[in-house]
Amino acid sequence: MKGTGWKCGAALGLALAAGLIAGTANAATAERKVDGAFADGTPAETVTLSAANGVTARIFALGATLQGYSLPDRKGVLADVLLGHDHPAEYEATQDFFGVTVGRFANRIARGTFTIDGTTYRLPLNDGEASLHGGGQGFDRKVWAIESVTANGPVASVTLALTSPDGDQGYPGEVTARVTYALGDDGVLTITMTATTSKPTIINMTNHALFNMAGQCPAEGAMGNRLTMPASRYTPVNTALIPTGELAPVAGTPFDFRKPKALSDGLRNARDPQVLVGRGFDHNWVLDKGQTAEPQLIARAEDPVSGRAMEVLSTEPGVQMYTGNFLAGTNPGKGGCLYRMGDGYALEPQKFPDTPNQPAFGSARLDPGQIYRHVMVLRPATATK
């Protein structure tokens, strides 16, 4: 479970005797703690970033996980908008991907195979006949090293690092990955994911947070949340949830979120074959902006009742929306809440699913000397009335 460099990270933690790093007065702070231990005795470290406006973000070293993110409603009342668990050991006990950093390759790879320079690589099949989110022991199952925790004026941040050895889960190349969470005093959370490799490989990292702008465990779930996405097309899937290769227009379908609408609108429309095969929404939207050097708006989520809202920005060309279709009320989450289908939804910016096997989707290749970079931003907003 230990990520490379853990001992160095632990030493830094011991050096921070008070556990709290503060910037200037009335500025962002960062607090590092140990919250129990994992099954092998590894200390379970957490870092809480706090902005001057009261917004907080809580990060776990296991899976470089975003465990909590609080946002104000229209009256300024803060609530955590992420599904998840209260303690790191609960994430170790189950693999439900709440808020984790996904890698090496987010989403599905058909038949668990891909080819680079004539060599075919085989990955674990952990989702039927596909490899999902890097295989059963991907980045989300590793304890990342906490490289640094800082509070510099209006920004508090934590950087976590992981070395994935050559051949890990069948992927070629030794990959060094880093994730930095930076919280500004305006409540904006910037997530920067980078990676380098020793051999040609594929990389597609994202954060797998499940959101509900209504807050924690509301009886009505999350399907009353309104969503807007600037995406005119999406990628239909087959029965294995692998893209067919088509870039289909969203116009006239339940997949059209170009104007704000409730997630529940069309979610149970079994007359739409794509909603039926996905058991709801579990698809990649093709963002009109494409791949960009700097993050641009990809989604806006809001709860019209409380007025709590958030904008999501990213550098990536696609976003996978997953409406918690496999949540069955069997795995208690925060505060003992039994999460059910529709209690939350993921907005996962990424390269398109199965890109290594579908050249028309672009490339997920990373070569030695190159740096993979994905910047994702969560930005507080106010719901429209």
Catalytic residue among 85, 133, 208, 374: 208
Has residue 1 got a pLDDT over 50? no
Q: Considering only 18-27, 144-153, 282-291, which range has the smallest mean pLDDT?
A: 18-27
Tens of pLDDT, residue by residue over 294-311, are 999 999 999 999 999 999
Catalytic residue among 45, 90, 174, 348: 348
The DSSP result for 4-66, as a single string, is TTHHHHHHHHHH-TT-EEE-STTS-EEEEEEEEE-TTS-EEEEEEEE-TTS-EEEEETBTTEE
Q: Considering only 54-58, 165-169, 218-222, which range has the smallest mean pLDDT?
A: 218-222
pLDDT band at 6 (very low <50, low <70, confident <90, very high): very low
Q: Is 208 a catalytic residue?
A: yes
Report which of residues 249 and 326 the model is more confident about.
249
pLDDT at 17: 32
- Distance, CA of 119 to CA of 173 (rounded, Å): 13
pLDDT at 383: 85
**Residue 232 near residue 238 (C-beta atoms within 8 A):** no
Has residue 122 got a pLDDT over 60? yes
**Around Cβ 218, how many Cβ atoms within 10 Å?**
17
pLDDT at 9: 38
Buried b (16+ CB within 10 A) or exposed e, 134-150: bbbebbbbbbbbbbebb
Has residue 188 got a pLDDT over 90? yes
Has residue 96 got a pLDDT over 80? yes
Has residue 331 got a pLDDT over 70? yes
Average pLDDT score over residue span 9-33: 61
Percent of the chain at pLDDT > 70 equals 94
Comparing CA positions, the residue from 245, 200, 208, 195 lying closest to residue 354 is: 245
Please, which residues have CB within 8 angstroms of residue 86's CB and are 6 or more apart in sequence? Answer: 334, 335
Comparing CA positions, the residue from 134, 151, 150, 50 lying closest to residue 100 is: 134
pLDDT at 385: 72
Q: Is 90 a catalytic residue?
A: no
> How is the chain split into domains, by residue range?
6-382
Has residue 14 got a pLDDT over 60? no
- Residue whose tokens read 């409406």: 323
pLDDT band at 16 (very low <50, low <70, confident <90, very high): very low
pLDDT at 153: 87
pLDDT at 24: 52
**Around Cβ 114, how many Cβ atoms within 10 Å?**
25
**Residue 273 near residue 241 (C-beta atoms within 8 A):** no
Tokens of 16: 């921070």
- Distance, CA of 34 to CA of 361 (rounded, Å): 42
Tens of pLDDT, residue by residue over 32-55, are 999 999 999 999 999 999 999 999
**Residue 67 near residue 84 (C-beta atoms within 8 A):** yes
Phi, psi for 361 (deg, rounded to 5): -85, -5
Please, which residues have CB within 8 angstroms of residue 153's CB and are 6 or more apart in sequence? Answer: 23, 24, 27, 28
Q: Is 369 left (phi over 0), alpha (psi -120 to 50) or beta?
A: left
pLDDT at 10: 38
pLDDT band at 233 (very low <50, low <70, confident <90, very high): very high
Pick the CATH number of 6-382 from 2.70.98.10, 2.40.110.10, 1.10.600.10, 3.40.50.740: 2.70.98.10
Average confidence score pLDDT of the chain = 93
Please, which residues have CB within 8 angstroms of residue 308's CB and are 6 or more apart in sequence? Answer: 71, 72, 73, 74, 79, 81, 213, 214, 215, 302, 383
Q: Side-chain half-sphere of 105: how many Cα atoms within 13 Å?
A: 31
Mapping DSSP to helix (H, G, I), strand (E, B) and coil, where does residue 344 land? Answer: coil
